[in-house]
Chain A
Amino acid sequence: MKMRKISFGIVGLAFLFVLSVIPGYAQKEVTYLSLADYTAAIAGLNVPADMGCEDYFKELNAKGGVDGVKIKFIGVDTRYDVARGVSAYKRYRTEPKLLVVNAIGTPIGKAVAPLVAKDKLITLVPGDGEFQAHLGRVFIWGPAYQDSFAATIDWILSDWKKKGKTGAPKVGYISWDNPYGKEFLRGGKEYAEKMGVSLAPPEFFPPGSLDHSVYLTRLAKAEVNYIFVGGVDPTPTNVIRDAHKLGLTKTIQFFCDYWGPTSLGTRLHPEALEGVVIVSYYLRGDDARNHPLANLWTKYGRGKIEDMNEVYTIGMSWAMTFEAALKMALKEVGYKKLDGEVIYQTYQKLTGIERAGLQGPCAYSPTSRRGSLEVKFYQVKAGKVVSISDWIKAPDAVSLHKF
């Protein structure tokens, strides 16, 4: 009796395994691997982004793929752990026609990049300017962090002039005490100096802090006019909530970087975030929701359209970039000869590709690893994220820093 149960179990498991393996050999297929963090520090960003990527590929495959080639999406939860990320890459490295490794989370990207380069594939990572400074097989999704900071400096200067004030504005910076938090100023600081904006000493707090009053009080004492808050949402929201409590939001204009509050985040704390300006390289708020591609959110049963996180569209943007590269590569060499090296060459030729307006035109080229150059400014007004500018080309701050 017991043996019977066990053998049934084994047969069942084998069946499941076969089910999962069979589709891999049935047709022409390429693989897109995402080493993401679904259950740890930056899950808020990773989960919706990968949903977008997956849904776009599903849609694409349902329509017959790219010239008959289907795209297989594999999302692995690395839990922001480098060892896991490396192990996952090694496990999936032999997948049929693996072309792109999207490493969400810079430490994992950095650890995987040499392996990926050895296998002649490409890695996609968030926005560290380092990868623009040292050209290699690592591409970033949008403009570098320091570029977005530089664009904010420009915006501050014009705002300062608009308000009819004289002298130079003083800008404060507050973020996590970790590599990501410090990346903005590597180049951003030099840009501010170049533009004659004085930076107050930057403030760094440990991730997971309960109270940020200390840092904000100190910035306020330094008499800053503007404060740039780093961190992946909801950290910036919590910082600004503390500022709101201290009454600083009335006198100081706050900025968030592109991982700052999404419209879901602003919905949670509308009055604290009122008036905050967000520098973003992708569509936010209703801009994103009214985009035709946002329909995929409801189509694939992710929930109501009001609950769509705008980061969802970044995922689609990655998918579209990959689609464009795949199409170009298939035209040039065909499915048989398609490999990582070809994709690497193709990614460098993607300059100017449009991604349905979800972000600025693609800026990948032999000398550029930036996914796009443009940023757009959004402001929180009555709990909504509203666009207040057109696409603006972000200045190049990476080249100002010695990496």
Chain B
Amino acid sequence: MKEFFQLAIPGLMVGSLYALVAAAIVLVYKSTRVVSLAHGQLLAFGGLFFWIGLVALDLPLPLSVLMTLACSIWMGWLVERITLRPLIGQPLISAFLMTFAIFMALDGIFQLILKGESKTYATRLALGELDILGVPVRVVQLISFGVVLLVFLSLALFFRHTKTGLGMRATAEDHQLSQSTGINVRTIFSLIWIISATVASIAGMGTAYVMDIHFPLPYIGIKGLIVALFGGLDSLTGALFAGLILGVLENLIAGYLDPLVGGGLKDVAAYALLLIILLVKPYGLFGLKRIERV
């Protein structure tokens, strides 16, 4: 049993970060039907802004969190306004490619700032480890786990109880219908990108703590995409559960199956499993099956 916990608990911690990235992608997909690759960069820039605040400018923690959020709100707005708004009404695949173009454009800036080095703020936030069920876990990761749950909770409340949130859900259902009820779909798109970028940057702060800010950080976005798909591209609950499940599953596979084949199974087995699950449930675990009309 101890071995299981040793595998599962770090998996949960990592999985919560996957879930948050996936949530950001789901938010955008739900209302705009655009699958986004750009979130990998939004995430990386979240980490980068936080580093700039905390280490480069030496600001206190709350202030750097605020700065990060402000910067990512601005980035989300910018990305939507400049690149995706002109594409409203164009084929969705063009919008998808647009997110890839954004990824590349931002990647250059990310590399320019990094100069090939890696940056970290983990030492600024050294809070030690805590023993949970006999497994040592970093306190910061526990906090980030809590934050992830909190973000999901507040997103749920937001969509259920505020007028804007309800408007967004209506937009997700049908663009034209919601426009005819007086919802400004463009504003909603803008808002949704802002929220999504903020969520991605929170995920970025957590991820960059674990793996430092360096070249592969934006590629966590692809993992998030896979998780979003796993849970169902239009379900936030799905993103949460799929993230946690995938995080744990990766570790269980690496733990129990790696010795049989000589290693390296962690990523690939998760992908293979995903394929199988999609064959059984084509819209992900929690995705909405849309009834199509001809």
Contact = CB atoms under 8 A, between A and B. Distances in A.
Contact of B215 (A40, A48, A218): A40
A215 interface: yes
A367 interface: no
A265 B118 CA distance: 8
Interface stretch (A5-13, A92-100, A203-211): A203-211
Q: Decide if the interface of chain B is mainly helix, strand, loop or mixed.
A: helix
Contact of A210 (B17, B138, B263, B268): B17
B10 A43 contact: no
B293 to A, nearest CB: 42
B207 A210 contact: yes
Contacts of B126: 271
Contact of B254 (A39, A47, A215, A245): A215
* Count class of interface residues, chain B: 35 or more
B105 to A, nearest CB: 13
Interface string A265-285: 100111100000000000000
A317 interface: no
Interface string B263-277: 110111000000000
A56 B214 CA distance: 27
A41 B211 contact: no
Contacts of B138: 245
A260 to B, nearest CB: 13
Nearest to A177: B264
B263 A203 contact: yes
A103 B122 CA distance: 34
Interface stretch (A119-127, A148-156, A233-241, A372-380): A233-241
B118 A233 contact: yes
* Count class of interface residues, chain A: 35 or more
Contacts of B258: 203, 214-215, 218
A245 B13 contact: no
B7 interface: yes
A201 B119 CA distance: 32
B184 interface: no
B148 interface: no
Contact of A268 (B14, B118, B255): B118
A93 B114 CA distance: 31
Interface string B98-139: 000000000110010011111110110010010000001110
Q: Which 9 A-B pairs have the closest CB atoms?
A: A177-B264, A47-B116, A204-B263, A43-B116, A208-B216, A213-B10, A206-B267, A234-B118, A39-B111
Interface of A: 38-41, 43-48, 177, 201-211, 213-215, 217-218, 233-234, 237-238, 241, 245-247, 264-265, 268-271, 309
Given A214-B251, A217-B6, A218-B255, 20 more contacts: A38-B116, A39-B111, A43-B111, A44-B116, A44-B214, A45-B116, A46-B116, A47-B115, A177-B264, A201-B262, A206-B266, A206-B267, A206-B268, A210-B17, A214-B266, A217-B255, A234-B212, A237-B212, A238-B211, A245-B137
